[in-house]
Structure 1
Amino acid sequence: MSRQRRMDVIEQAEFVTIGELVRLTGARYSTLKFYTEEGLLDFEQSEPNLTRRYRRTESLQRIALLRELRHNGKSIPEIKALVQKETSALPY
């Protein structure tokens, strides 16, 4: 098992692991894994057997959005529709 990175290193890193996202957000591991599996939280993975890497800034913003939507009573299907609509409206 690898050593955990210090929080100051994690807070400056471009990419973080799901465990580091847990530490940064206080969210449950199972919640972030669910969001990942549902396509609500993007990650990069160069090979199937390697650790998933999440872009720290974008992931923190997405988790904050997901929390806000859930707090406002939105269901997962409603959130998926909103996120998909938001993503399709991007100019690239």
Structure 2
Amino acid sequence: MSRQRSMEAIMASEYVTIGELVRLTETRYSTLKFYTEEGFIPFVQEGSNLTRRYPREKTVERIAYIKGLRDQKKTIPQIKEILQEKYKNL
């Protein structure tokens, strides 16, 4: 098992892992995995080991936005629709 990167290294990095997103956003791993599978948060898949990397700044912002929608009691289908509309040109 590899050693965790420091928060300083994570904050300086353009891309992060899902585990690092857990630390950055204080969101459960299973929630982030669900958001990934639903297409809520974008990722790139690097190399033959199929490691998913998330663009740190954009993903942290998007997770905060999703959390805000959840605080407003939006359902998952509503969030999906809102995100598709908001990010349709990206």
TM exceeding 0.5: yes
SS in structure 2 of the partner of residue 52 of structure 1? strand
Residues 50-75 of structure 1, C-alpha deviations (whole Å, 9 max, x = no match):
21000000000000000000000000
The CA deviation at 1:38 is 0.4
**How many residues get paired?**
90
Provide the residue aligned with 2:2 in structure 1. Answer: 2
8 A Cα contact 2:18 2:52, kept in partner: yes
* Amino acid across the alignment from 1:2: S
Alignment of structure 1 residues 28-39 onto 2, 5 Å? 28-39=28-39
Determine the C-alpha separation between the residues in 2 that align with 1:50 and 1:8. 25
Percent sequence identity over aligned pairs: 56
* Amino acid across the alignment from 2:11: E
Determine the C-alpha separation between the residues in 2 that align with 1:38 and 1:48. 23
Alignment RMSD: 1.3
Structure 1 unaligned blocks of 5 or more: none
2:86 pairs with 1:82: no
Alignment of structure 1 residues 30-49 onto 2, 5 Å? 30-47=30-47, 49=49
* Amino acid across the alignment from 2:57: T
In the superposition, the TM-score normalised over structure 2's length comes to 0.93
Provide the residue aligned with 1:73 in structure 2. Answer: 73
* Amino acid across the alignment from 1:25: T
Counting strand residues as a fraction of each chain, which structure ranks higher? 2
* Amino acid across the alignment from 1:83: L
